[in-house]
Amino acid sequence: MHSGALDFNLAQIDAAPNAQLQSVSLFGRCFGPRPPQLPTPNPNPMQSRLGLDFGFLPSYLLGSLLAMSLGARPPRSVLSSLYSALDYTDHLRLTESSLGYTTTASLTPDNLDANRYRDILAYDHALLPGPYLNAAFVPPFHPTSLSFIASQAPLPSTYTAFYTHIVEHGVRVLVNLTPLVEKGRTKAHQYWPAEDADMVLENGWKLTCKPATRIQLENGEATLERRTILIKPGEEAAEGLNAHGWGVTQFHLTSWPDHGVFPTAMMMQLMREIQLVPMPKIYPPPPTWIHCSAGVGRSGTLAAALIAQAVINVSKHSNHEDRDALPLFMRAEADSQVWDLPVRIVEHLRRYRARMVQTLEQFEAIFDIVHHLSTPP
């Protein structure tokens, strides 16, 4: 898959396959697990101007981004090349064992049946502590943005592990972006009880649901169901849960084109609904849990959109003195060019879960959202 058009020197990796990998966060501070760091060439002046911290992007593509104004999204040819570069980096992580992006736990015989798809595995460094689940903890892209847990749709055999992690991580918002059946194929299982019934987990926890509220997005083009799932101890004492139990707000988007995207306006409406959920006033806030069927395409798209919104909001509301201290791409200036932001975000997500933002169309949708958020009303 190596392309001569990419400014990436694979020999840099092969030269020291056993060298200990260093890991740094995007802005010098790491929130959560540290991923292995992909070796990259020294940034050229163009990359330094953009503030990029990864050097695999071709210089001519970076120049194309700099030439763009906020008035128009970069052409599809540029976005396609950028996405190919991101995919190539993903390929290296998955195939070059010396980089340290291992998936040992996912391939353990005892865990194979817990994976919904054979080719969607979890990186060991991003696994949730405790029982195995095909999921990843994604720390904040920037101190102003949220952390996420991205996962596959839980299988019946992993319901207990799924809810255990929800409670242990203090999750208050759970977003399901896939219908149970799509095009005649099972994409997810109903891991929550019907409104008139209970569900009992293997560990004795009992699940109940309050009646769901149905929210019509974009004049009825899609339906978003909002429900509260209550997790309570069973009749016998259940470890890890106090007598009051735990409540999590679930949003279930019952229609989303697989490998496809939602219109920007609809995505913005979905994001607004998610942000209406009251959150505890603690720092850092609990992670937002997002899943689709595999936990990479639609999940990555929504996570990227929420990150972009948080970063752009900070830049918009910073005064001049504060703005000078922000990274270059976050400075809210009239002629600011923010087209490298989606690339940065997708690269960040993929350090913790492979294939996040799974298609070029989803990648383009993030640019549309950044354009929408950055354009004055």
Q: Residue 335: is its pLDDT beyond 60?
A: no
pLDDT at 334 (0 to 100)? 36
**Looking at per-residue confidence, does 261 or 341 come out higher?**
341
Q: What is the DSSP letter of 228?
A: E
pLDDT confidence band for 325 (50 / 70 / 90):
low
Question: How much is the average pLDDT of 203-232?
Answer: 91
When pLDDT is averaged across residues 87-105 and rounded to a whole number, the result is 94
- pLDDT score at 323: 54
pLDDT (0 to 100) of residue 234: 75
Does 92 or 332 have the greater pLDDT score?
92
Of residues 71 and 126, the one with the higher pLDDT is 126
Per-residue model confidence (pLDDT) at position 46: 35
Cβ atoms 134, 295 nearer than 8 A: yes
pLDDT higher than threshold 80 for residue 86 = yes
The DSSP code for 120 is -
Q: What is the pLDDT of residue 314?
A: 82
Answer whether residue 282 shows pLDDT above 60.
yes
d(CA 135, CA 141): 18
pLDDT tens digit sequence for 338-347: 778 899 999 9
Residue 282 CB contacts under 8 Å (≥ 6 apart), including other chains: none
Burial tier of 297 (Cβ tally within 10 Å: 0-12, 13-18, 19+): buried
Task: List the single range of 2-11, 213-222, 314-323 with lowest mean pLDDT.
Answer: 2-11
User: Taking residues 194-217, what's their average pLDDT?
Assistant: 93
Q: Look up residue 350 and give its two tokens.
A: 């993929």
pLDDT at 47: 36
The answer, yes or no, to whether residue 135 has pLDDT greater than 90, is yes
Q: Is the pLDDT of residue 120 over 50?
A: yes
pTM metric for this prediction:
0.82
Cα 309 from chain centroid (whole Å): 13
DSSP classification of residue 325: T
Q: In this structure, are strands 135-138 and 213-217 parallel, antiparallel, or unpaired?
A: unpaired
* Band of pLDDT at residue 29, cut at 50, 70 and 90: very low
pLDDT at 45: 38
Least confidently predicted of 29-33, 211-215, 300-304, 362-366: 29-33
pLDDT at 339: 78
Among the ranges given (153-167, 211-225, 270-284), the one the predictor scored with the smallest mean pLDDT: 211-225
Average pLDDT over every residue of 191-214: 94
Using alpha carbons only, give the angle 169, 170, 171 rounded to the nearest 5 degrees: 95
**CB neighbourhood size of 53 (10 A):** 18
More confident residue, 140 or 11: 140
Q: Which helix (H) or strand (E) holds 232?
A: strand 222-232
Of 37-41, 213-217, 318-322, the one with minimum mean pLDDT is 37-41
> For the chain, which domains are there?
11-99 (no CATH), 104-181+192-328+336-374 (3.90.190.10)
Check whether 181 has a pLDDT greater than 80: yes
What phi, psi does 185 have (nearest 5°)? -115, 140
Cβ-based neighbours of 68, under 8 Å, separated by 6 or more: 74, 337, 339
The rounded mean pLDDT for the chain is: 80
